[in-house]
Amino acid sequence: MELVENKSFKAAIKKNIQAVPFVWNMYWGAKQQLLRIAILLRGYGYDIRCTYKSMFWAPQQYDIRSICAELIFQYHKLEKGLVMPGEARLFGLDPANATMNILEKHGDAILSADAYLFRAAIATLIAYRDKLVDFKLDAKDQITSRVQRFLAARQVAITPEVITPHALPALLAQTETSAMFDNLVKARRSVRAYKPDVVPQDILRKAIEMAQLSPSACNRQPSKVYLISDAEKKAQFLSLQNGNRGFGHLAPHVAVLTTDERCYFNAMERHEPYIDSGMFAMSFILALRTFDVGTCCLNWCVTSKTDIQAHKMLNIADSERISMVILLGFIPDECQVPRSARRDVDNVLINLG
């Protein structure tokens, strides 16, 4: 009874305020500003908690995802030094030592978690040693002997796909390549109709393999794809996203893209998860289109409460930020899409001389 009276009292006050436009406009404007501030504080507060918890490489921590990311971060510096133009010179003392330290301390765990990554690190150290020796770069033996002892104690089979550096693969003739890519990007449009057929795993795996060649900060490859194909699970998850009404249920699959914040050393890299994920997503989408698989990108603009709910629903680690949701499925024979006119190039390209 008291609750009903309170509602009636509030409604009466609101009605009286609305009767005076000036007062109502002040009230409405103040309310909207307070709501904006509340949403802002809740959103940033949630982001700060997540980033503080995950985006930090502590020497004493033992988290295989962070360890592998730091290993890549260090040995990739050596890879870049190996291809640097100009006169050969001594380089990479700190990253070489850091790479060996990580492998000495966590080598067995890395080998178990990602044997390919382990072999890639060893292959990089081999190439680094060879460069030092062949060009006589380390006259004072600041690092060469340690690398040689380290490698002698670890006889690892190095397969061609991890040897670094390697020659940049040749493209097709320029005109043919440009025409093919032009056709691909024009054929890539957000589709909202799909065949009911399931997309085979080999196509999905190949598309992800192609997307993994996308750039990422120091090649740390933080992206993951969670694929939902079960009708009930799809419906549950899509109920959390507000941009799929009327067509989301038609897609045979929903891909949830995440970026693991454990792959970044601290909050100075706080924007990198979304940059890296965006590049991965575009490559993934274009790769799928080459197999006649259509996609529709759905943003993940949700409250922290909804984000937490989604993480629990899909059993996604707290350290992984959901960056995008992608509907995907084979394109129907007859499929219409919006024209989606693009801005003129002159509105995008700014020549600074």
- Asked if residue 343 is part of any domain, the answer here is no
Give residue 237's pLDDT: 98
CA distance 198 to 257: 19
Instruction: Give the percent of the chain with pLDDT over 90.
Output: 77
Q: Is 341 inside a domain boundary?
A: no
Alpha-carbon distance 338 to 189, whole Å?
8
Does residue 169 fall inside a structural domain?
no
Q: Is 323 helix (H, G, I), strand (E, B) or coil?
A: strand
The residues pairing with 325 across neighbouring beta strands, listed in sequence order, are 256, 298
pLDDT attached to residue 264:
95
Same-domain status, 124 and 41: no
Which pLDDT does position 9 carry in this prediction?
A: 67
- For residue 198, what pLDDT band results from cuts at 50, 70 and 90? very high
Rounded alpha-carbon distances, angstroms, from residue 329 to 181, 196, 207, 288, 323: 21, 8, 13, 9, 20
In angstroms, the CA 268 to CA 310 distance is 26
pLDDT tens-digit readout, 148-174? 999 999 888 888 999 999 999 888 888
Q: What is the domain extent for residue 107?
A: 64-162
| Average pLDDT value over all residues in the chain | 92
User: Per-residue pLDDT tens for 316-333?
Assistant: 999 999 999 999 999 999
- What count of Cα atoms within 13 Å lies in the side-chain half-sphere of residue 284? 24
Does some domain include residue 167?
Answer: no
DSSP state of 26: H
DSSP string, 44-112: HHHHHHHHHHHS---TT---HHHHHHHHHHHHHHHHHHHT--SS-----HHHHHHHHHHHHHHHHHHHH
Instruction: Convert the pLDDT of each residue in 243-286 to its tens digit.
Output: 999 999 999 999 999 999 999 999 999 999 999 999 999 999 99
Check whether residue 315 and residue 181 sit in a common domain. Answer: yes
Model pLDDT for residues 11-69, shown as the tens digit of each residue: 777 777 777 777 778 878 888 888 888 888 888 899 999 998 898 888 777 789 999 99
Q: What's the whole-number mean pLDDT along residues 113-138?
A: 96
Report yes or no on whether pTM surpasses 0.85: yes
* 190 and 151 belong to one structural domain: no
Does 28 fall in a domain? yes
Q: Which of 172-176, 195-199, 218-222, 294-298 is the least confident region?
A: 172-176
Q: DSSP state, 292?
A: T
Whether residues 138 and 47 share a domain: the answer is: no
Q: What is the CATH number of the domain that holds 234?
A: 3.40.109.10
Mapped onto helix, strand or coil, the DSSP state of residue 190 is strand
* CB-based contact 67:112 (threshold 8 Å): no
Question: Which residues in the chain belong to E strands, given as ranges?
Answer: 223-228, 253-260, 293-298, 320-330
Residue 352 in any domain: the answer is no
Provide mean pLDDT across the span 58-83.
91
Same domain, 304 and 257: yes
Considering its fold, how many domains does the chain have in total?
A: 3
- φ, ψ (nearest 5 deg) of residue 341: -55, 140
pLDDT band at residue 5 using 50, 70 and 90 as cut-offs: low
